[in-house]
Chain A
Amino acid sequence: GAVVSQHPSRVICKSGTSVKIECRSLDFQATTMFWYRQFPKKSLMLMATSNEGSKATYEQGVEKDKFLINHASLTLSTLTVTSAHPEDSSFYICSADAGGPNNEQFFGPGTRLTVL
């Protein structure tokens, strides 16, 4: 299957700093990527849809100025958590749409963010 990578896999930062998470599709081009957030024992929650070359579409309740998304190429989308606070600590997962007829999404391994 298609491979999606994320970097870093784990990050610890101080409150008030910004953190960038990268999502890459390694062996396919993804015009659309998605960013999800997962709390312990909770479902994955869609945060935003990232389209190459255009502004991201954010889900209701997600602050676009806090979670900056850039999809600069067909293989890379980045999520920047700005001015991070402890409540932003979570598991962030990206997925990429391979563009097939079945709308299948392939997920990255996730990034564990801990804000002190």
Chain B
Amino acid sequence: QKEVEQDPGPLSVPEGAIVSLNCTYSNSAFQYFMWYRQYSRKGPELLMYTYSSGNKEDGRFTAQVDKSSKYISLFIRDSQPSDSATYLCAMGGGGGADGLTFGKGTHLIIQP
């Protein structure tokens, strides 16, 4: 079983829809969770960071972490064509600088 599971998609939704992206993980040592957006042939861009279970909201983006279920989500409200990209979940352990463990990424397409 891989450490982080993420459906690669593609996920295609109409403009204005609410998008739900998810990852599951198996390593209970992960303590912080991130969502990155990556456009084609570009490096990942940090979107959201969460450290504990619960919700975190930033503009149209909401990140949810459920450590008991080892499940994290990213919601995008009022989706726009410019949101079309690959979204990667990433996780790290506690204490000091750690390399991150990434999901495969979900390719999201917002249809105008």
Contact = CB atoms under 8 A, between A and B. Distances in A.
Interface in B36-79: 36, 41-46, 49, 51
B46 A32 contact: no
Interface in A102-116: 102-110, 112
Interface in B82-112: 88, 90, 92, 96-105
Interface stretch (A36-44, A73-81, A82-90): A36-44
Question: Chain B at the A interface: mostly helix, strand, loop or mixed?
Answer: loop
A107 B97 contact: no
A44 B88 contact: yes
B104 to A, nearest CB: 5
Name which of A4, A42, A91, A95 has the most chain B CB atoms within 10 A of its CB: A95
A22 interface: no
Chain A interface, DSSP helix/strand/loop, else mixed: strand
A94 to B, nearest CB: 8
Q: Bin the interface of chain A by size.
A: 20 to 34
A82 to B, nearest CB: 22
A52 B41 CA distance: 28
A106 B100 contact: no
Contacts of A108: 43
A112 B43 CA distance: 11
A67 interface: no
B30 to A, nearest CB: 12
Given A1-B46, A102-B49, A102-B51, A97 B97 contact: yes
26 contacts: A4-B43, A34-B99, A36-B99, A41-B104, A42-B104, A43-B102, A43-B104, A43-B105, A44-B44, A44-B88, A44-B90, A46-B99, A46-B100, A49-B99, A59-B99, A91-B41, A102-B49, A103-B32, A103-B92, A103-B96, A104-B49, A107-B44, A107-B45, A108-B43, A109-B42, A110-B42
